[in-house]
Structure 1
Amino acid sequence: MEYLRGQMEGTLRSYHAKPDLITEHANHEESIRVGGYANRTLLELVQNAADAIAGSDDGGPHAGRVEIVLDIDRGVLYCANAGRPFSKDGLRSITMAHISGKRGDEIGRFGLGFKSVLAVSDRPQVFSRSVSFEFNSPSAQAELAQATPGARRYPLLRTAVPVDANQEFSDDEVLAELGEWASTVVRLPEAKNLERLRHEIENFATEFLLFVSAVREVRLRVLGSDGLTITHVSRDLGNGLLRIERPDGDGDEWIVRDRMHAPSAHARKGGRRGGIPLGGEGHRRVAAPAVEAPNRTVLVVLSVTGPNVGFSSVQRSLERERRPDDPAPQRLQP
């Protein structure tokens, strides 16, 4: 709690000393809210959960589990995971931009992905076994207005304040249910774009689990009169071989390889491709189907250089249909 208060006071001092930072930070959040991250909220939440799971040594029955729940009637989105509880570095990374405690070989290095929640809610909340806090609370709004009056718009994700977790768990049955097994639950109240979120749930690509290897199960639920439950599973078969299983029980085996990508000299000088900066080292994962057929073998590369790079190639690959006249498949060796 003291850390949260100290961070709040530091932010207010910075804004008092440099009022232009308020507009800069607010505009940055707005660019994320309407930009490349805006239409991939679920993927970003799963990626953040995967990073927490990757650092956990929990081998219990819920290891590798992520669950997303959309409560249509109440307008709330939840994302729960069984990874590491929130740390000071984690809090610092989501309240700032381009600063993160993640290693270069993890997805989403810059703490930007969490800010995609702004496309869903203006009041994101985090309930973790280490600390619980919320953004854009009435008290935070009041302190920002008092410290820097007259601003046209204030940033939302720079001022975290403690929240009474016991009271919130008592008042919210879904939150309490998730809290029985999860170490961290992100709750997005007063959620917007509910139909888009439902569409993301219904069209979640199982192949995405190839790129979040710490995740073993993603369970997606929609509550309400037209509710549904969808489960995607990943199984590590060893020796670089993963089996992913879709909600219908069907599945595929994939050969997966990892490497660190070193940019070219041009990229190090600030080159761009498709509007995305190319500088900086990053993690690349290459996946190929373990069963090959002519004209259908697909290599998928995930790069961490930007929000619109990498997974689009996965989505394009998934749109390719197997032809009825394809010859018998042949198994590749991992």
Structure 2
Amino acid sequence: MARNARAEQLREYGRSVLEGARSEQVLRMARQVNSVSYTSAREYAGRSLFELLQNGYDAHPRDRRDGRVHVLLDEAEGEWGTLYVANGGTPFTWRNVERICELAQSSKEVGEGIGNKGVGFRSILLISEAPEIYSADPDSPLGPELDGYCFRFAQKVDVEEFLAGENNAHEVAATYPPLQAPLPLDDVPATCRQLAARGYVTIVRLPLLSEAARAEVRLRMGELAEAKVPVMLFLDRLAGLTLERRAVDGEAGELDDRHETLERHELTRSEERFAVAQDATGHGFPVSCATVDLGPSGTFLVVQGTVEKERLNSTLAEAVGAGLLDDTWQEWKRSAVVEVALPLPAPRRPRRGQIYTFLPMGEDQAAPFPGHVNAPFFTKFDRTGLPSDNPLNVLLFDAVAEICLAAAAVLRTVPEPSMRQQAVDLVSWESEKGSAGRLRAAALRVHGSELADVPLVPVLAADGAVPETSWAPPRGAVLWSDLDLTVLTAHRAHEAGIVVADPEIGGDRLKRLAALCKALACPWEPGPEMLAEYVERIVAGLPLPRPGEPPQAVERAVRGPGRAFRGRRARPARQAAAARGRPHTAAHQPSPRQGGYGHKHAYPGQAERSECPP
């Protein structure tokens, strides 16, 4: 279709929409849409740039990995500056035109992209009253021309002019809803032409409406550039996001060397998938793994899994039947994709992660483990929060738990030491909010066994041992003290045949995992009686003094849990001496009041160790 034909198509559609303003019945509906449009915009306050980025991302086909979005704030164009958001991918189609003009309608497939509510674009009403869209020919998008659907939206002056001669023209125009009637644009601004020459196929142009709008755009661009959590992490269709703020020395609207770039940030993303041993996940729960390089924003391990269609359909039917989702959610055509991400290399101390719906949600939406979560959750209107009890969200969080367990099983087979910390982080969920119960159920689906029987705990193993042997289930592992012990160390305990958690994983990680195991009624910390037995086993293997030399060194090393040893057959040093067939003098027995282990603390764990429930 030629550009003139597309312009006429837009003109006729716009006229048909405006013609409805002559009907009192349509006008009553229009007033309601006007009110809802601005209410929706206020609900999205602070999120308009996110919404525009989301639309640019969704314009790229799902199999693309080289997409681009360019955000440009030209502060000298227009009274308050002009914002441009350009994207590659697929140009505007006629269906896109119709949907963007209809409130709460969207051309996006449910579950396919970031948004499908059809209201997010109205968030721009807080920063611009006169948005324009310029797009390439959808039938031939490879050329540098913006010769497809190029249009603006009817404003109050257009409505009043259309209704010229009507007695209520001014009144109708004052309450007519925005973004309803498209009107064709003949001329393409110079900056749009320049962006098209760089390969972008759609440009949204927003003349800003006030100084406050310009300040808002500056603020949000800065937040995107220096976000606390990586914006590009789950935007797998994009390879680059450019954030640019400019002033102009020459003519406004020219994207050339006369512009002074005040700020420019390039956010990049590249992905490399790697093969994993699928049989390691137990009951055939497949996951795929990739390393994602975000340049200065870091490198991440991203693990992806899916919720099978039958399981998803059952949950959607339940939610729709209960009135918790509308009928359109049952149009979901594919399996739901769920992802988790962990930073590489693992930080020394685990940090809180974030929940995403492709883009990060509100700062208070923390992931339940030290990593990030991405899933097509049912969210609040502005996508900053979510109702955790919605059946769809319950299912997706269940799937997150299953993917974490499956991914941890894969990483336990990898010989690289750095992956041990990642495997621990994946299963170290917050112990409150029902996480233990969710992980228990996930273990039955993924491994076909109780969580307490899954080898979640990294333990010390012999040099050269295969990776799988350096893990143990919570039922059989011991959390040794991370204090600065000199003799009764975790490695000495390992040499004595005790299954000890690997201290190289880090005290913070082990404590976090221990909190989960405690919620499973499988505490790792040995009680005094068990600890006394462990100490005797360790001391039995210690080197003894030479003949005739008093064993003070051994005694000093094992001074300790006095009450735990009281009543046993032999004190530690005596037990060690007896094991070697040498006499021991009672004068050198440790005092129950003295500290032990060569440290001011008495012993590695204070809590009683109990058996896990079956």
CA distance in 1, matches of 2:341, 2:380: 22
State the 1:99 CA deviation.
1.9
Conservation of the 8 A alpha-carbon contact between 2:52 and 2:121: yes
CA distance in 2, matches of 1:201, 1:47: 14
Conservation of the 8 A alpha-carbon contact between 2:289 and 2:301: no
Conservation of the 8 A alpha-carbon contact between 1:242 and 1:256: no
Secondary structure, in 3 states, of the residue corresponding to 1:200?
Answer: helix
Q: 2:383 is matched with which residue? A: 309
Q: Is 1:103 equivalent to 2:151 in the alignment?
A: no
Query: Deviation digits for residues 159-198 of structure 1, max 9, x if unmatched?
Result: 1101013xx33xx3x3232121211110001344212211
CA distance in 2, matches of 1:301, 1:264: 22
Q: 1:140 aligns with which of 155, 158, 161?
A: 158
Query: Deviation digits for residues 276-299 of structure 1, max 9, x if unmatched?
Result: x89835766432216456744224
Paired residues for 1:150-189 under 5 Å: 150-151=171-172, 152-165=174-187, 168-169=188-189, 172=190, 174-180=191-197, 181-189=199-207
State the 1:252 CA deviation.
3.0
Identity %: 22
CA distance in 2, matches of 1:86, 1:68: 18
Q: Which moved more, 1:69-78 or 1:302-311?
A: 302-311
Conservation of the 8 A alpha-carbon contact between 1:263 and 1:279: no
Length-normalised TM-score, structure 2: 0.45
Q: 1:20 aligns with which of 20, 23, 28?
A: 28
CA distance in 2, matches of 1:70, 1:137: 23
State the 1:70 CA deviation.
0.8
Per residue, is there more helix in 1 or in 2?
2
CA distance in 2, matches of 1:27, 1:284: 36
Conservation of the 8 A alpha-carbon contact between 1:8 and 1:159: yes
Which structure is larger by alpha-carbon Rg, 1 or 2?
2
State the 1:100 CA deviation.
1.8
Per residue, is there more strand in 1 or in 2?
1
Conservation of the 8 A alpha-carbon contact between 1:123 and 1:135: yes
Q: 1:120 is matched with which residue? A: 127
Query: Deviation digits for residues 127-151 of structure 1, max 9, x if unmatched?
Result: 1112100113576333555476223
Q: Which amino acid is the alignment partner of residue 17 of structure 2?
A: T
Q: Which amino acid is the alignment partner of residue 268 of structure 2?
A: V
Q: 2:497 is matched with which residue? A: none
Q: 1:255 aligns with which of 288, 292, 303?
A: 303
State the 1:81 CA deviation.
0.7
Q: 1:201 aligns with which of 190, 199, 221?
A: 221
Q: 1:298 aligns with which of 371, 379, 385?
A: 371
Q: 1:241 is matched with which residue? A: 290
CA distance in 2, matches of 1:154, 1:98: 17
Q: 1:269 is matched with which residue? A: 322
Q: 1:311 to 1:84 in 2, by over 3 A?
A: farther
Q: 2:243 is matched with which residue? A: 220
Q: Which moved more, 1:227-236 or 1:303-312?
A: 303-312
Q: Number of aligned pairs? A: 306
State the 1:101 CA deviation.
1.7
Q: 1:55 to 1:92 in 2, by over 3 A?
A: farther
State the 1:267 CA deviation.
5.5
Q: Which moved more, 1:136-145 or 1:225-234?
A: 136-145
Q: 1:312 to 1:99 in 2, by over 3 A?
A: closer
Q: 2:463 is matched with which residue? A: none
Q: 2:342 is matched with which residue? A: 289
State the 1:78 CA deviation.
0.3
Q: Which runs of 5+ in 2 are unaligned?
A: 1-6, 137-147, 248-259, 274-287, 352-369, 388-416, 427-614
CA distance in 1, matches of 2:63, 2:341: 28
Q: 2:90 is matched with which residue? A: 84
CA distance in 2, matches of 1:55, 1:89: 18
CA distance in 2, matches of 1:216, 1:312: 28
Q: 1:159 to 1:258 in 2, by over 3 A?
A: farther
Q: Which runs of 5+ in 1 are unaligned?
A: 314-326
Q: Which amino acid is the alignment partner of residue 219 of structure 1?
A: T
Secondary structure, in 3 states, of the residue corresponding to 2:107?
Answer: coil
CA distance in 2, matches of 1:200, 1:256: 29
CA distance in 2, matches of 1:138, 1:242: 51
Q: With a CA cutoff of 8 Å and minimum separation of 6, indicate the structure with the bigger relative contact order.
A: 1
Q: 1:13 to 1:176 in 2, by over 3 A?
A: closer
CA distance in 2, matches of 1:243, 1:213: 9
Conservation of the 8 A alpha-carbon contact between 1:290 and 1:332: no
Q: 1:38 is matched with which residue? A: 45
Secondary structure, in 3 states, of the residue corresponding to 2:105?
Answer: coil
Q: Which amino acid is the alignment partner of residue 75 of structure 2?
A: I
Q: Which moved more, 1:8-17 or 1:213-222?
A: 8-17
CA distance in 1, matches of 2:83, 2:132: 11
State the 1:106 CA deviation.
1.8
Conservation of the 8 A alpha-carbon contact between 2:378 and 2:386: no
Q: Is 1:93 equivalent to 2:85 in the alignment?
A: no
Q: Which moved more, 1:176-185 or 1:3-12?
A: 3-12
Q: 1:190 to 1:199 in 2, by over 3 A?
A: closer
Q: Which amino acid is the alignment partner of residue 9 of structure 2?
A: Y
Length-normalised TM-score, structure 1: 0.78
Q: Which amino acid is the alignment partner of residue 253 of structure 1?
A: L
Q: 2:73 aligns with which of 59, 70, 74?
A: 70
CA distance in 2, matches of 1:191, 1:212: 30
Secondary structure, in 3 states, of the residue corresponding to 2:20?
Answer: helix
Q: 1:253 to 1:184 in 2, by over 3 A?
A: same
Q: 1:222 to 1:285 in 2, by over 3 A?
A: farther
Q: Which amino acid is the alignment partner of residue 194 of structure 2?
A: E
Q: Which amino acid is the alignment partner of residue 264 of structure 2?
A: T
CA distance in 2, matches of 1:244, 1:145: 56
